[in-house]
């Protein structure tokens, strides 16, 4: 099998240990990104009163946080799974994103644009040969 970006890379390894399925720890996503309850409410389209991390968590909130966790893990792969570097990347202003941090892209409801940006960057890394 050739190295590179493939169909199955869209669900990357759980490098930052968010968990999957019933073992998914939704609270770790806002913790890593420094998101407040209001931010989670906005990005998941649920009321602030509905933001909770137990068995009564709204399904759409769980799904959105799982999507974001998957994207965070894609970025973590670029940093060999280093949580500090991954977190720093999400918090740093990025000139390629209009001088907005990836974290703020998520907070401001531009998650889908950020996800596409990350996937395109990953594809460029794969298609660009490393210097010998």
Instruction: Tell me the per-residue pLDDT of 67-88, one tens digit each, with 9 for 90 and over.
Output: 999 999 999 999 999 999 999 9
Instruction: Tell me the per-residue pLDDT of 11-23, one tens digit each, with 9 for 90 and over.
Output: 568 999 999 888 9
Looking up tokens 């990104």 gives 33
Identify whether 7 is part of a domain: no
Range of the domain at 35: 14-125
Identify whether 79 is part of a domain: yes
User: pLDDT-based confidence at 56, cuts 50/70/90?
Assistant: very high
Identify whether 78 is part of a domain: yes
Identify whether 44 is part of a domain: yes
Domain count along the chain: 1
Prediction pTM value: 0.85
Please write down the long-range contacts of 107-111, taking CB distance under 8 Å and 24 or more positions apart. Answer: 107/35, 107/39, 107/42, 107/43, 109/42, 109/43, 111/43, 111/64, 111/67, 111/68, 111/71
What's the pLDDT score for residue 52? 96
Identify whether 1 is part of a domain: no
Identify whether 130 is part of a domain: no
Identify whether 108 is part of a domain: yes
Report the chain's mean pLDDT, rounded to a whole number: 89
Instruction: Tell me the per-residue pLDDT of 23-55, one tens digit each, with 9 for 90 and over.
Output: 999 999 999 999 999 999 999 999 999 999 999
Chain centroid offset of residue 49 CA: 24
Look up residue 89 and give its two tokens. Answer: 């990347």
Rounded CA gap, 112 and 120, in Å? 12
Rounded CA gap, 10 and 97, in Å? 21
Identify whether 131 is part of a domain: no
């Amino acid at each position: 099998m050739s190295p590179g970006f493939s169909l199955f890379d869209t669900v990357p390894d759980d490098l930052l240990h968010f968990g999957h399925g019933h073992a998914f720890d939704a609270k770790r996503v806002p913790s890593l990104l420094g998101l407040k309850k209001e931010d989670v409410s906005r990005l998941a389209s649920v009321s602030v009163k509905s933001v909770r991390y137990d068995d009564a968590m709204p399904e759409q909130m769980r799904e959105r946080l799982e999507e974001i966790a998957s994207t965070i893990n894609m970025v973590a792969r670029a940093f060999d799974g280093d949580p500090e570097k991954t977190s720093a990347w999400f918090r740093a202003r990025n000139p390629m994103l209009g001088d907005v941090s990836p974290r703020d892209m998520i907070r401001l409801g531009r998650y889908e644009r950020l996800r596409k940006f990350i996937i395109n960057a990953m594809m460029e890394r794969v298609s660009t040969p490393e210097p010998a």
